[in-house]
Amino acid sequence: MAAPVIALLVIALLSLLVVRVGSTALMMTGISWDTASFQAYSAFFGVGFTTKEAELVVNHPVRRRIIRDLILAGNVGLTSALATLIVTLLQSSSGGDTMLMLAWLTGGLVVMLFVSRLAWFQKVLDHLIQRTLERTGMVRALDYELLLRIQHGYVVSEIEVLAGTFLAERTLRESRPWDRGVVILSIKRDGHTQSGIPARDDLIKPGDILTAYGKETDLLAMTQPFEPTPSPTSKS
């Protein structure tokens, strides 16, 4: 009788661990922890939130792979274990056994959630996850939250410059992304990253991959079609 409860608790524990791994992996690609955690939970549990933050995730090859794996992991095991537990409870002939199983299940989930929220436990777990991900080569640790003091809503991300967008075929002096709260950190062209910090006279070309820092909404605006502001015409 206890087997379904134990199975569900184990799968719930593994689910929390998988989401934590996914959140850490996404954070290591340069996005804020709040955004990484939200997207990891959304992908794993299949809630399907559509946000501007999600666009930044799916447009990045490494983040897209992480989200894909979370979606796959979230659709195997948990549903079948929960179904097994419900069937077992319904078929149980003893009301006392059913109440005992529910009590064990509730107590196990409460203890699990309590332990998972302990600060020291989260710190140790995140350290182990990051070291493991670095060794496997899945993602490269970019500790931008420490170096740039990233707050919620700010990210370091890669932008692919497309023809007709805000930065394309213009120098940084002309486009002035810093006026929009965006800092260009590096330019990658034809697979090679240019040395040094980009200068104001550097011309941005379609196909360039830019590493940029700023608000997620501002970075997303850089990828939208550019519509020049019409100059005022004098009346005759």
Local structure of 215: helix, strand or coil? strand
What are the angstrom distances between the C-alpha of 156 and each of 18, 149, 207, 214, 217? 24, 11, 19, 7, 12
**Residue with more model confidence, 87 or 9:** 9
Delimit the domains of the chain by residue range.
Answer: 3-134, 153-221
pLDDT at 11 over 60: yes
In this prediction, residue 32 has a pLDDT band, given cuts at 50, 70 and 90, of confident
Task: Tell me the whole-structure pTM to 2 decimals.
Answer: 0.46
Cα separation of 99 and 6, whole Å? Answer: 15
Q: Which residue has the higher pLDDT, 122 or 3?
A: 122
pLDDT digits (tens, 9 = 90+) for 189-214: 988 888 888 999 999 999 999 988 88
The CATH superfamily of 153-221 is Regulator of K+ conductance, C-terminal domain (3.30.70.1450)
What would the pLDDT profile of 47-61 be if each residue is shown by its tens digit?
766 666 677 677 777
